[in-house]
Copies of this chain bind each other. A is one copy, B any other.
């Protein structure tokens, strides 16, 4: 792996904009603004600001189309999702990640295919899974007696 991916950070509000563009594949500002004004009570200038920031961040690319722009995603939705979740998980105690994932799965609606894929993935991990994952909250490692 040579490419040092700078991993664009997308804020919550910006995420809304990206979802529109990801879903449509591409969109001009009018479309983005119309759709988002429906979903939130954001004013048009707010949405313009978000679009502008996303372009500056390199999350959206632009193609001139007459007087306006067509925006396209420069980062993949799935990659952004994976990255955001892994980032979040990474900052949490390693020992408790598993339990948290159980809770997350319990509360997330998943298709049969997803569930099956998850089971397959886990079944494959099972043999090589360690007996326990240590807490990594303290410089040395804690004694597993974390108060949860």
Contacts and interface: CB of A to CB of B under 8 A. Distances in A.
A117 B119 CA distance: 11
Contact of A105 (B24, B121, B131): B121
A52 interface: no
Interface in A94-117: 94, 96-117
20 contacts: A15-B92, A25-B145, A76-B148, A77-B93, A78-B96, A78-B100, A81-B97, A85-B85, A86-B108, A89-B104, A89-B108, A94-B109, A101-B101, A102-B121, A105-B125, A110-B125, A111-B131, A115-B125, A118-B122, A119-B122
A35 interface: yes
Contact of A88 (B25, B35, B88, B110): B88
A104 B131 contact: no
A140 to B, nearest CB: 9
A50 interface: no
A53 interface: no
Given A19-B137, A39-B139, A98-B110, A118 B105 contact: yes
A92 B98 contact: no
A121 B106 contact: yes
A100 B76 CA distance: 12
A20 interface: yes
Contacts of A147: 22-23, 25, 73, 77
A20 B84 contact: no
